[in-house]
Amino acid sequence: MRKANLEVNMFRRSLTSFLRLTFATLLSFPSFLGAIDLKPEDVRGKATQSPVTILQNRYFLKAFRPELGVAYGTITNEAYTDTQLVGFRTGLFFTETFGLELQSFNATVSDSDDLKSLKRLRYRKFDDPNIEVHPDPEVNRLKKIIDVTAVVAPFYGKLNFADWLIIYSDLYLTAGITKLDTDQGGITGVTWGAGQRFYWQKSLSLRVDFKGRMYQEKANNQDHRKSTYSVDFGLSYFLF
Protein backbone atom coordinates (compact mmCIF):
# COMPACT_ATOMS: atom_id res chain seq x y z
CA MET A 1 0.00 0.00 0.00
CA ARG A 2 2.80 2.35 0.92
CA LYS A 3 4.49 1.49 -2.34
CA ALA A 4 1.35 2.39 -4.32
CA ASN A 5 1.00 5.75 -2.54
CA LEU A 6 4.64 6.49 -3.18
CA GLU A 7 4.21 5.81 -6.92
CA VAL A 8 1.15 8.13 -7.07
CA ASN A 9 3.03 10.96 -5.33
CA MET A 10 5.96 10.56 -7.72
CA PHE A 11 3.57 10.70 -10.71
CA ARG A 12 1.97 13.89 -9.39
CA ARG A 13 5.37 15.53 -8.89
CA SER A 14 6.40 14.56 -12.46
CA LEU A 15 3.13 15.89 -13.94
CA THR A 16 3.45 19.19 -12.05
CA SER A 17 7.04 19.59 -13.21
CA PHE A 18 5.96 18.87 -16.82
CA LEU A 19 3.18 21.47 -16.70
CA ARG A 20 5.50 24.08 -15.23
CA LEU A 21 8.08 23.36 -17.93
CA THR A 22 5.44 23.60 -20.67
CA PHE A 23 4.10 26.92 -19.37
CA ALA A 24 7.59 28.38 -19.09
CA THR A 25 8.39 27.22 -22.63
CA LEU A 26 5.30 28.97 -24.02
CA LEU A 27 6.24 32.19 -22.26
CA SER A 28 9.84 31.98 -23.45
CA PHE A 29 8.93 31.27 -27.11
CA PRO A 30 5.94 33.46 -28.15
CA SER A 31 6.43 32.35 -31.73
CA PHE A 32 4.45 29.27 -30.81
CA LEU A 33 1.41 31.59 -30.61
CA GLY A 34 1.82 32.84 -34.17
CA ALA A 35 -1.07 30.69 -35.38
CA ILE A 36 -3.58 33.07 -33.72
CA ASP A 37 -1.82 36.32 -34.63
CA LEU A 38 -4.44 38.02 -36.90
CA LYS A 39 -3.83 41.00 -39.15
CA PRO A 40 -5.67 44.16 -38.01
CA GLU A 41 -7.76 44.33 -41.19
CA ASP A 42 -8.95 40.74 -40.61
CA VAL A 43 -10.32 41.40 -37.13
CA ARG A 44 -14.12 41.74 -37.04
CA GLY A 45 -15.42 45.17 -36.14
CA LYS A 46 -12.29 46.94 -37.34
CA ALA A 47 -12.76 49.57 -40.05
CA THR A 48 -11.03 48.67 -43.28
CA GLN A 49 -10.37 50.83 -46.30
CA SER A 50 -11.73 49.39 -49.50
CA PRO A 51 -9.35 49.60 -52.46
CA VAL A 52 -12.35 50.34 -54.72
CA THR A 53 -12.87 54.09 -55.10
CA ILE A 54 -15.03 54.15 -58.25
CA LEU A 55 -17.72 51.53 -58.75
CA GLN A 56 -18.40 52.44 -62.36
CA ASN A 57 -17.23 55.08 -64.78
CA ARG A 58 -19.83 57.55 -66.03
CA TYR A 59 -21.55 56.45 -69.16
CA PHE A 60 -23.23 59.85 -69.75
CA LEU A 61 -20.84 62.80 -69.73
CA LYS A 62 -21.98 66.43 -69.73
CA ALA A 63 -18.90 68.57 -68.93
CA PHE A 64 -18.44 71.38 -71.49
CA ARG A 65 -21.41 70.17 -73.53
CA PRO A 66 -23.97 73.00 -73.92
CA GLU A 67 -27.44 71.95 -72.85
CA LEU A 68 -30.69 73.07 -74.49
CA GLY A 69 -34.12 72.10 -73.29
CA VAL A 70 -37.84 72.77 -73.04
CA ALA A 71 -40.12 72.34 -70.05
CA TYR A 72 -43.74 72.45 -68.95
CA GLY A 73 -44.84 72.92 -65.36
CA THR A 74 -47.24 74.45 -62.90
CA ILE A 75 -47.29 76.57 -59.76
CA THR A 76 -48.43 74.31 -56.93
CA ASN A 77 -49.35 76.67 -54.07
CA GLU A 78 -51.49 79.45 -55.58
CA ALA A 79 -54.92 79.65 -53.93
CA TYR A 80 -56.71 81.94 -56.39
CA THR A 81 -55.04 81.18 -59.71
CA ASP A 82 -54.13 78.21 -61.88
CA THR A 83 -50.72 79.05 -63.32
CA GLN A 84 -49.17 76.92 -66.08
CA LEU A 85 -45.54 77.42 -67.11
CA VAL A 86 -44.00 76.82 -70.54
CA GLY A 87 -40.41 77.70 -71.28
CA PHE A 88 -36.89 76.78 -72.27
CA ARG A 89 -33.55 76.40 -70.55
CA THR A 90 -29.90 76.43 -71.44
CA GLY A 91 -26.87 75.57 -69.37
CA LEU A 92 -23.27 74.46 -69.27
CA PHE A 93 -21.47 72.12 -66.87
CA PHE A 94 -17.81 72.92 -66.20
CA THR A 95 -17.27 69.56 -64.50
CA GLU A 96 -19.47 66.52 -64.18
CA THR A 97 -20.85 67.91 -60.91
CA PHE A 98 -20.98 71.72 -61.27
CA GLY A 99 -22.54 74.03 -63.84
CA LEU A 100 -24.65 77.14 -64.50
CA GLU A 101 -28.13 77.32 -65.95
CA LEU A 102 -30.54 79.92 -67.37
CA GLN A 103 -34.22 79.18 -67.74
CA SER A 104 -37.18 81.32 -68.82
CA PHE A 105 -40.89 80.53 -68.37
CA ASN A 106 -43.97 82.27 -69.70
CA ALA A 107 -47.03 81.91 -67.47
CA THR A 108 -50.62 81.28 -68.49
CA VAL A 109 -52.90 82.30 -65.63
CA SER A 110 -56.59 81.60 -65.08
CA ASP A 111 -58.88 81.99 -62.06
CA SER A 112 -59.00 79.00 -59.76
CA ASP A 113 -62.26 77.36 -58.70
CA ASP A 114 -61.96 79.01 -55.30
CA LEU A 115 -61.73 82.47 -56.83
CA LYS A 116 -64.66 81.77 -59.15
CA SER A 117 -66.75 80.69 -56.17
CA LEU A 118 -65.89 83.87 -54.29
CA LYS A 119 -66.87 86.04 -57.25
CA ARG A 120 -70.29 84.38 -57.38
CA LEU A 121 -71.05 85.48 -53.85
CA ARG A 122 -73.07 88.67 -53.47
CA TYR A 123 -73.55 90.90 -50.45
CA ARG A 124 -75.41 94.14 -49.88
CA LYS A 125 -73.47 96.99 -48.38
CA PHE A 126 -74.36 97.76 -44.80
CA ASP A 127 -74.54 101.52 -45.33
CA ASP A 128 -76.37 101.25 -48.68
CA PRO A 129 -78.49 98.06 -49.11
CA ASN A 130 -79.17 98.92 -52.76
CA ILE A 131 -75.55 98.25 -53.72
CA GLU A 132 -74.34 94.67 -54.14
CA VAL A 133 -70.67 93.73 -53.66
CA HIS A 134 -68.70 90.50 -53.91
CA PRO A 135 -65.37 89.38 -52.39
CA ASP A 136 -62.44 90.49 -54.52
CA PRO A 137 -59.14 89.22 -53.03
CA GLU A 138 -55.97 90.95 -54.10
CA VAL A 139 -54.10 88.68 -56.51
CA ASN A 140 -50.64 89.38 -57.92
CA ARG A 141 -50.51 87.18 -61.01
CA LEU A 142 -47.25 85.90 -62.47
CA LYS A 143 -46.54 86.63 -66.12
CA LYS A 144 -42.95 85.51 -66.66
CA ILE A 145 -40.10 83.92 -64.68
CA ILE A 146 -36.37 84.03 -65.41
CA ASP A 147 -33.99 82.00 -63.23
CA VAL A 148 -30.18 82.12 -63.18
CA THR A 149 -28.89 79.28 -61.01
CA ALA A 150 -25.84 77.26 -60.08
CA VAL A 151 -26.31 73.50 -60.41
CA VAL A 152 -24.53 70.89 -58.27
CA ALA A 153 -25.01 67.25 -59.26
CA PRO A 154 -23.12 65.07 -56.75
CA PHE A 155 -25.17 61.88 -57.16
CA TYR A 156 -24.97 59.68 -60.25
CA GLY A 157 -26.07 56.09 -60.66
CA LYS A 158 -28.46 53.71 -62.31
CA LEU A 159 -31.89 52.33 -61.52
CA ASN A 160 -32.91 48.75 -62.19
CA PHE A 161 -36.53 48.65 -63.31
CA ALA A 162 -37.91 45.16 -62.56
CA ASP A 163 -34.76 43.49 -63.98
CA TRP A 164 -35.98 44.64 -67.37
CA LEU A 165 -34.53 48.09 -67.96
CA ILE A 166 -31.48 49.95 -66.63
CA ILE A 167 -32.02 53.70 -66.34
CA TYR A 168 -29.07 56.01 -65.71
CA SER A 169 -29.81 59.05 -63.59
CA ASP A 170 -28.29 61.87 -61.61
CA LEU A 171 -29.71 63.98 -58.78
CA TYR A 172 -28.89 67.68 -58.51
CA LEU A 173 -29.47 70.79 -56.41
CA THR A 174 -29.96 74.36 -57.67
CA ALA A 175 -29.72 77.82 -56.14
CA GLY A 176 -29.60 81.34 -57.58
CA ILE A 177 -31.53 84.49 -58.48
CA THR A 178 -35.00 84.78 -59.97
CA LYS A 179 -36.66 87.67 -61.83
CA LEU A 180 -40.47 87.69 -61.92
CA ASP A 181 -42.76 89.79 -64.08
CA THR A 182 -46.04 90.23 -62.18
CA ASP A 183 -49.11 92.48 -62.04
CA GLN A 184 -47.08 94.63 -59.64
CA GLY A 185 -44.16 94.92 -62.05
CA GLY A 186 -40.74 93.34 -61.97
CA ILE A 187 -39.68 91.64 -58.72
CA THR A 188 -36.28 90.11 -57.89
CA GLY A 189 -35.96 87.22 -55.47
CA VAL A 190 -34.00 84.08 -54.68
CA THR A 191 -34.63 80.57 -55.92
CA TRP A 192 -33.60 77.11 -54.80
CA GLY A 193 -34.58 73.63 -55.80
CA ALA A 194 -33.79 70.02 -56.58
CA GLY A 195 -34.22 67.82 -59.60
CA GLN A 196 -33.47 64.50 -61.21
CA ARG A 197 -32.33 63.70 -64.71
CA PHE A 198 -33.08 60.40 -66.46
CA TYR A 199 -30.86 59.66 -69.46
CA TRP A 200 -32.53 58.19 -72.49
CA GLN A 201 -29.65 58.50 -74.92
CA LYS A 202 -26.13 59.88 -74.61
CA SER A 203 -27.40 63.35 -75.54
CA LEU A 204 -31.07 63.23 -74.55
CA SER A 205 -32.50 63.23 -71.04
CA LEU A 206 -35.80 63.65 -69.22
CA ARG A 207 -35.82 66.10 -66.30
CA VAL A 208 -38.07 66.60 -63.30
CA ASP A 209 -37.48 69.84 -61.36
CA PHE A 210 -38.87 71.26 -58.15
CA LYS A 211 -38.32 75.00 -57.61
CA GLY A 212 -38.95 77.33 -54.72
CA ARG A 213 -38.89 81.10 -55.18
CA MET A 214 -38.99 83.66 -52.40
CA TYR A 215 -39.68 87.37 -53.03
CA GLN A 216 -41.56 90.40 -51.69
CA GLU A 217 -44.81 91.77 -53.07
CA LYS A 218 -47.41 94.30 -51.98
CA ALA A 219 -50.47 93.21 -50.01
CA ASN A 220 -52.79 95.85 -48.53
CA ASN A 221 -50.15 98.47 -49.42
CA GLN A 222 -47.56 96.70 -47.28
CA ASP A 223 -44.53 94.61 -48.18
CA HIS A 224 -45.30 90.94 -47.83
CA ARG A 225 -42.87 88.04 -48.18
CA LYS A 226 -44.12 85.26 -50.40
CA SER A 227 -42.87 81.84 -51.42
CA THR A 228 -43.96 80.21 -54.66
CA TYR A 229 -43.34 76.55 -55.53
CA SER A 230 -43.38 74.92 -58.94
CA VAL A 231 -42.87 71.51 -60.54
CA ASP A 232 -41.91 71.10 -64.18
CA PHE A 233 -41.08 68.29 -66.59
CA GLY A 234 -38.75 68.75 -69.51
CA LEU A 235 -36.49 67.34 -72.18
CA SER A 236 -32.85 68.36 -72.49
CA TYR A 237 -30.35 67.80 -75.26
CA PHE A 238 -26.56 67.98 -74.86
CA LEU A 239 -24.73 69.29 -77.90
CA PHE A 240 -21.52 67.77 -79.23
Three-state secondary structure string covering 195-220:
EEEEECCCCEEEEEEEEEEEEEEEEC
Give the integer Cα–Cα distance in Å for 157 and 196.
Answer: 11
- Are residue 30 and residue 129 in the same domain, yes or no? no
The whole domain housing 21 covers 2-34
In tens digits, what is the pLDDT along the chain, a chain of 240 residues? Answer: 544 454 545 545 554 555 555 545 544 544 444 444 445 555 444 444 555 444 556 778 899 999 999 999 999 999 899 999 999 999 999 999 999 999 999 999 999 988 888 878 777 766 777 777 777 788 899 999 999 999 999 998 888 877 788 888 999 999 999 999 999 999 999 999 999 999 988 899 999 999 999 999 988 888 889 999 999 999 999 998
For 121, counting Cβ atoms within 10 Å of its Cβ (0-12 exposed, 13-18 middle, 19+ buried), the class is exposed
- Are residue 228 and residue 177 in the same domain, yes or no? yes
Residue 100 maps to a domain:
yes
pLDDT of residue 15: 47
pTM of the prediction?
0.71
Give the integer Cα–Cα distance in Å for 56 and 201.
Answer: 18
- Are residue 98 and residue 142 in the same domain, yes or no? yes
- Are residue 81 and residue 27 in the same domain, yes or no? no
Contact indicator for 140, 182 with CB cutoff of 8 Å: yes
Residues 27-66 have pLDDT tens digits of 454 444 444 444 555 544 444 455 544 455 677 889 999 9
pLDDT of residue 58: 75
